Amino acid sequence: MVRFKRMKPLIGVIAGEIQNKHIPWYPIAYGQPHTYTDAIVSAGGLPVIIPLTTDEQAIKDIYTKLDGLMFAGGTDINPKLYGEKPRRGNMKISDMRDDVELLLLSLALKDQKPVLGICRGMQVINVACGGTLYQDIARDVPHGQGHRGANEVKDLGHIAHVLRIAPESKLAAMLSSATIKANANHHQAVKTLASKLRATAWSEDGMIEALELPGKAFVCGVQCHPEALEATIEPLWQKLFAAFVAAAQTR
């Protein structure tokens, strides 16, 4: 009897737009920091960067090959998607990235394909499900503390918060812990949580730092950047990536 070794799960990581500041006229690149793909490889998955394109069928064809989707960090989501006008201070907006991510997320939720959202990715999940965002924490949440900590010290490994985790949540079960150390590099955050989602972690100032979609599907979002912590600074985050890749493998 011939036995076939099961392939590692293929995890799609949606690209961001990268402008070459030294050669401004050069075409925009599509990519993500290596820490995202490193975390997937360490957890036993095979990462692939999904480029941005207006060709909807091409995105759908790529999607069919994937076992899971990671929505990574990046620039701001267009506020029109949650019923607001952009304010001064918004970071660069990419309508094409918004369109690609919303299409992929809608397909994944329909098929119950595992989804992990990081930073902007968590915000995409909330907006796609009907929630809203604080467009600028410094302006909208005066009591907010430390959410741009990494940017201030120029170190993504800088610990900004100790998160409190909801005891009965999937995140608590994955991490086997009621608290976890987290970094922070975001000027936006969840304002109104979508009704179908559940908040699962909070920073000391009460900001929502993690969410999930109740039910059987693996849909989890975290506001911090665990991919920059899980190797040595806060190894507990390795369990999140391991659970995500395992869910993709099972599927």
Residue 17 annotated to the active site? no
- Per the CB < 8 A criterion, the answer to whether 48 and 10 are in contact is yes
Q: Please name which of 9, 6, 5 lies closest in space to residue 46, comparing C-alpha atoms.
A: 9
Instruction: Catalytic residue, from 161, 186, 187, 225: name it.
Output: 225
* CA–CA distances in Å: residue 141 to residues 93, 112, 119, 169: 22, 34, 18, 26
Tell me the backbone φ, ψ of residue 14, rounded to 5 degrees.
Answer: -70, 135
Q: Can 212 be counted among the known catalytic residues?
A: no
Q: Which of 119, 158, 220, 234 is catalytic?
A: 119
Q: How far apart are CA 185 and CA 67, in angstroms?
A: 28
225 is catalytic: yes
Catalytic residue among 101, 227, 230, 234: 227
> CA-CA distances (angstroms) from residue 89 to 13, 108, 143, 190?
27, 32, 19, 17
Cα separation, 9 vs 46, in Å, equals 6
Q: What are the respective helix, strand and coil percentages of the chain, to the nearest 5? A: 30, 20, 45
What's the DSSP call for residue 80?
A: G
3-state SS class at 77: coil
Q: Which residues are catalytic?
A: 119, 225, 227
